[in-house]
Structure 1
Amino acid sequence: MNPILLADAYKISHPEQYPDNTEYVYSNTTARKSRIDGVDHVVVFGIQYLTKEYLVDRFERDFFRRPKDDVLQELDDFFVSFFGPGAVDVSRYGDLHDVGYLPLEIKCLPEGTRCPIGVPFMTIVNTNPKFYWLTNAIETLVQNVIWNPITAATIADRYRQLLDKYADMTSDSPGFVDFQGHNFSMRGMSSPESSMTTDGGHLLSFNGSDTLPGTWFVNEYYGPNDGVLIGTSVPATEHSVMSAGGCEDERETFRMLIQDVYPSGIVSIVSDTWDLWKVLTEIAPSLRKEIEARDGRTVFRPDSGDPVKIVCGYNVKMHASLPESREQWEAFYEDGYDAVFTPDGQYLDEHGKVLSMNEVKGCVQILDEQFGSTINSKGYKELNPKVGLIYGDSITYERAEQICKELADKGYASTNVIYGIGSFTFQYNTRDTFSIACKATWVQIDGEGREIFKDPVTDDGTKKSAKGLLQVYRDTDGTICLRDCVSKSEEEETILETVFLDGQAFMETFGTIRKRLRR
């Protein structure tokens, strides 16, 4: 596709709408608001993909390197069919073609930086006064490409901070967190491209991923990465494999996998094709000798039910009846209970359903009982290293947090569980999750600079823009801040760095960016 068309239609009519003798348009990109409680920043990521793939490679391949007459005829034909005859003067695109590159300068905070909400992380300005219209002509493309990797990187960083917190508190293996968040999202994402950019953001915080295109994406746009582990995974089964062996021969399927197919290394086996509790309390213990003899770990994967209860079990109030009044229920939940053991010897959940003892215990406690554990230096149990647990269905940040907390309450290290983080986390977002927007704040007309801004009286303040030339700086405690309405010399003192200039993209490796975020 001709990259000129990677835009909202109304952008095509804007060049004629600026005042006569407009020479420069200066714009910024800012995350204006957070719709995720407790998140007051975004992780800058995906800018290098934007500049290399789109502003350099696609413009060169699909615009500048093509014959000028072919490009203009194609655009004219398209605009006539879309807007009608005479609506668009395509000669300006011919003038741009003659230049041979996009005459723009883009400055950005280094990728991997946490940028506070409300502070611009990027500015764009044209470098040739003839192409004043180009700054905001690429606005749609810029937002379309970068909002997803920024959002994914921010969400993954939030998971990372949560898992680091509980690992520091309960585990002797904090390095395990590198693999504790595992990206399962590809099949639920909107496109292969969104899968790649999402996984790139995820891989800034973790090494575990089943999204193969994500590691390709990192190496292609953020390489070279020689000697740096980007993404990795392990052999794992799916329900078709388990069910093909037959319900009656499920034990043999497990045995074949851990002895014949994978006699060493880590193997992950989906365990709830039929009866999860039977697998954990009958089949797995019957293969304990084989599991412990392996040079590796056998990981069990539940794949349905309430993640918190499947992993952690229930918090039972002993010798009690279910609450009846609203006040009793509130006290019940406030005390952390979600089940009761009744005087007549039944376990009941909050809905009155009778629970088995296995449901009450949950997977981690059952694996502990069947395979043993050790007490680490912090006083928490770590499962036998020959077995493990991964849960990847409907995981959210809140559920991961609850699992970590309940495991700690039961005396288990948080690193006993790996989380498969899927599209339930990464796809349920939009550009408005962090209200990422590009807005012009300064123009130069006939040699005179003019500070511009927007501040709609009908808005709640979210859409109020900065004004004039902008300086992004760090204050004395290192906080990233914005100062607007500055002079040109002050603007040049910004901590934003040039990442694109007149057709050239300036690159960093993924390893450098990842270290910046993790430190």
Structure 2
Amino acid sequence: MNPILNTDSYKISHYLQYPKDIKFVSSYIESRGGRWNRLLFYGLQIFLMEYLSQKITYENIDEAADFIAAHGIKFNKDGWKYIVEHHGGALPLEIEAVAEGSIIQTENVLLQIKNTDPNLAWLVGYFETAILRSIWYPVAVATNSYFCKQNILHFLKESGTPENIDFALHDFGARGVSSFESAGIGGSAHMVNFKGSDTITGALFAKKYYGADMAAFSIPASEHSTMTSWGKENEMKAYENMVQSYGDGIFACVIDSYDTLNAIDLWGKLFDEVRSKGGKVVLRPDSGNPVTMASQCIEKMMSLAGYKLNSKGYKVLPDHIRLIYGDGINPQSIEDILNELKFRKISSDNIVFGMGGALLQHLNRDTLRFAMKVNAVSSDGINWRDVYKNPITDPKKRSKSGRLALIKENDIYKTIRADELGSKDNWLIPVFKDGKILRKFSFDEIRARAREFD
């Protein structure tokens, strides 16, 4: 990707629009609120490694010049040539950001960026499109997954085993996202919170950009085509084949190709064989009302295989039998299902969830109301003048002014002016300067930080 073309069209014209005495521009990114009151910061490192570290070349400039001329806008060719000739193509930008994996209240500064060369004040705004896009999506997915985790964990603490949380929500979203890169970014964001996923791309991204050896795991599982290809009359044979092929380990089987509850009756004849082989079968109903079907299926399984009461007084299936529900699953339906199970005195240990589009795709920039705005300008890089917007038609869009810092008081983050920092710790960490990444976070480190408030 040509970095010069990784922007919005109107950004190309902005180099002529700043006051002539402005030599330095500072901008920041925040979530202005939205669906949640906290967020999990993740994903900036992918952008820094893949895009912002890329050096500008004369070939990039020539390609951009031809495209932009045809596109109808005046191109700042001299400005980009200056970057190549005076900086070897490295982008003279400086970025400080919160540590990845941090759980931070919304309406706080998450990242602050400025130019380091006085001749390139326009460069900060030029990359707004790319850098804002690189943050809002992984943060939204990671936060969505995080709050699902907190919800499931609440029920596990009440009725089951909290240690089961790592595999309680499985990512089914690879086919439902917009691109391979979305699957990698969003899939790895989910893996910050959970270790179960069928989105291979997410594990690859976690390894490539964060050094994760293996960020997530999966199990053998059937789909409707592998079951229905046996024919309805041979449904039992299809299930017997699953036991013969995978019965000595954990495996999942879809059961709604024809009649879900009848399929559980058929599986009831195979449960003992699965147990004798030392394995575990996870049955997957895939249609109907999720709240009704989840509870009915588990009760049907209990009627055939029995159950025990755990120390909290909730019913638990034998260890070799479980249920996964992955149809119509979203944050609300998870809560509804778990509440129904709790009402029926069924432990949340009996079920895990699979989530696809609602995990990786049903999100946008306004989910957490992300914005990047200029907060200060300077003629010398030392003395900064406040800049802000304050539209009378929407006070919620008022932006922060002045160079910013982030402090922490009693585990609560607070944005203040940098000139008021004094001896307090600034939780904005320098991560990028003049084409070089200054601080990298490992996946293990990110996971550990995100779990501090579980």
TM-score band by shorter chain is over 0.9
Tell me: CA distance 1:493–1:26, structure 2 relative to 1, closer, same or farther (3 Å).
Answer: farther
* CA distance in structure 1 between the partners assigned to 2:104 and 2:434 by the alignment: 26
What is residue 13 of structure 2 aligned with on the other side? 13
Query: Could you tell me whether the CA contact under 8 Å between 2:109 and 2:405 is conserved in 1?
Result: no
Q: What are structure 2's unaligned runs of at least 5 residues? A: none
Shift of 1:462: 2.0
Matched AA of 1:256: N
Shift of 1:493: 5.1
* CA distance in structure 2 between the partners assigned to 1:203 and 1:498 by the alignment: 25
Tell me: CA distance 1:48–1:245, structure 2 relative to 1, closer, same or farther (3 Å).
Answer: same
Matched AA of 1:269: C
What is residue 76 of structure 2 aligned with on the other side? 89
Query: Could you tell me whether the CA contact under 8 Å between 1:471 and 1:491 is conserved in 2?
Result: no
Matched AA of 2:431: V
What is residue 267 of structure 1 aligned with on the other side? 251
Matched, 1:301 2:264: no
CA distances 1:405-442 after superposition (whole Å, capped 9, x unpaired): 11111111112111001103431111011111110110
Matched, 1:47 2:44: yes
What is residue 127 of structure 2 aligned with on the other side? 138
- 2:294 alignment partner, SS class: helix
Shift of 1:177: 1.2
Query: Could you tell me whether the CA contact under 8 Å between 2:38 and 2:103 is conserved in 1?
Result: yes
Tell me: CA distance 1:231–1:449, structure 2 relative to 1, closer, same or farther (3 Å).
Answer: same
Query: Could you tell me whether the CA contact under 8 Å between 1:469 and 1:491 is conserved in 2?
Result: no
- 1:166 alignment partner, SS class: helix
- 1:253 alignment partner, SS class: helix
* CA distance in structure 2 between the partners assigned to 1:201 and 1:289 by the alignment: 38
* CA distance in structure 2 between the partners assigned to 1:21 and 1:388 by the alignment: 67
What is residue 205 of structure 1 aligned with on the other side? 193
Matched, 1:177 2:147: no
Tell me: CA distance 1:433–1:466, structure 2 relative to 1, closer, same or farther (3 Å).
Answer: same
What is residue 404 of structure 2 aligned with on the other side? 470
Matched, 1:239 2:221: no
Matched AA of 1:366: K
Query: Could you tell me whether the CA contact under 8 Å between 1:19 and 1:445 is conserved in 2?
Result: no
What is residue 94 of structure 2 aligned with on the other side? 105
Tell me: CA distance 1:202–1:27, structure 2 relative to 1, closer, same or farther (3 Å).
Answer: same
Shift of 1:491: 11
What is residue 205 of structure 2 aligned with on the other side? 217
1:109-508 correspondence runs (5 A): 109-171=98-160, 173-223=161-211, 225-226=212-213, 229-259=214-244, 261-281=245-265, 283-312=266-295, 362-445=296-379, 448-459=383-394, 461-475=395-409, 477-484=410-417, 486-487=418-419, 490=422, 494-505=426-437, 506-508=439-441
Shift of 1:480: 0.2
Query: Could you tell me whether the CA contact under 8 Å between 2:4 and 2:61 is conserved in 1?
Result: no
Provide the aligned C-alpha RMSD in A.
1.6
CA distances 1:214-233 after superposition (whole Å, capped 9, x unpaired): 0000000001x34xx51000
Query: Could you tell me whether the CA contact under 8 Å between 1:33 and 1:462 is conserved in 2?
Result: no
User: Which has more radius of gyration?
Assistant: 1
* CA distance in structure 2 between the partners assigned to 1:51 and 1:21 by the alignment: 30
Shift of 1:291: 2.3
Query: Could you tell me whether the CA contact under 8 Å between 2:248 and 2:274 is conserved in 1?
Result: no
What is residue 516 of structure 1 aligned with on the other side? 449
* CA distance in structure 1 between the partners assigned to 2:76 and 2:95 by the alignment: 27
* CA distance in structure 1 between the partners assigned to 2:31 and 2:135 by the alignment: 11
Shift of 1:379: 1.1
Shift of 1:490: 5.0
* CA distance in structure 1 between the partners assigned to 2:425 and 2:403 by the alignment: 11
Shift of 1:288: 3.1
Give the TM-score taking structure 1 as reference length. 0.84
Shift of 1:73: 2.3
What is residue 326 of structure 1 aligned with on the other side? none
CA distances 1:433-469 after superposition (whole Å, capped 9, x unpaired): 111111011000256521110000111x221000111
Query: Could you tell me whether the CA contact under 8 Å between 1:269 and 1:301 is conserved in 2?
Result: yes
Shift of 1:279: 0.8
Query: Could you tell me whether the CA contact under 8 Å between 1:469 and 1:488 is conserved in 2?
Result: no
Aligned residue pair count: 448
* CA distance in structure 2 between the partners assigned to 1:231 and 1:382 by the alignment: 26
- 1:22 alignment partner, SS class: coil
Give the TM-score taking structure 2 as reference length. 0.96
* CA distance in structure 2 between the partners assigned to 1:79 and 1:245 by the alignment: 57
Shift of 1:284: 1.2
What percent of counterpart residues are identical?
33
Matched AA of 2:48: T
* CA distance in structure 2 between the partners assigned to 1:446 and 1:263 by the alignment: 70
Matched, 1:26 2:8: no
Matched AA of 2:93: L
CA distances 1:188-211 after superposition (whole Å, capped 9, x unpaired): 111111111111111111000000
CA distances 1:311-332 after superposition (whole Å, capped 9, x unpaired): 12xxxxxxxxxxxxxxxxxxxx
Q: What are structure 1's unaligned runs of at least 5 residues? A: 313-361
Shift of 1:504: 1.2
Matched AA of 1:280: I
What is residue 344 of structure 1 aligned with on the other side? none
Shift of 1:292: 2.2
Shift of 1:489: 7.0
Shift of 1:402: 1.1
* CA distance in structure 2 between the partners assigned to 1:209 and 1:288 by the alignment: 25
Tell me: CA distance 1:266–1:489, structure 2 relative to 1, closer, same or farther (3 Å).
Answer: closer
Query: Could you tell me whether the CA contact under 8 Å between 1:471 and 1:492 is conserved in 2?
Result: no
Matched AA of 1:90: K
Matched AA of 1:472: L
What is residue 359 of structure 1 aligned with on the other side? none
* CA distance in structure 1 between the partners assigned to 2:49 and 2:279 by the alignment: 41
